[in-house]
């Protein structure tokens, strides 16, 4: 995640937050839709997926 060794973790977090603010409207809508699906229980856990796939 660091761009250079001297970059602080605070700088990494600030850069990530800034990157999120640069998402286009379509992506923002998709993220919001995904959040709603998760809140309503429409998701599969990693463990459930492994079980379903027989792994």
CB 16 within 8 A of CB 7: no
Is there a domain that residue 3 lies in?
A: no
Is there a domain that residue 1 lies in?
A: no
What domain range includes position 28?
9-53
Q: Which helix (H) or strand (E) holds 55?
A: none
pLDDT of residue 16: 83
pTM: 0.50
Is there a domain that residue 39 lies in?
A: yes
Q: What are phi and psi of 32, to 5 degrees?
A: -65, -40
Contacts of 14 (CB under 8 A, 6+ apart): none
Is there a domain that residue 2 lies in?
A: no
pLDDT of residue 51: 96
Number of compact structural domains in the chain:
1
pLDDT in tens, 3-23: 888 889 888 888 888 776 677
pLDDT of residue 39: 94
Is there a domain that residue 4 lies in?
A: no
Tokens of 1: 């995640």
């Amino acid at each position: 995640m660091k761009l250079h060794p001297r970059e602080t973790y605070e700088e990494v977090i600030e850069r990530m937050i800034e990157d999120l603010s640069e998402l286009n409207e379509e992506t923002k809508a998709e993220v919001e839709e995904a959040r709603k699906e998760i809140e309503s229980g429409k998701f599969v856990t990693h463990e459930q997926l492994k079980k379903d796939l027989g792994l």
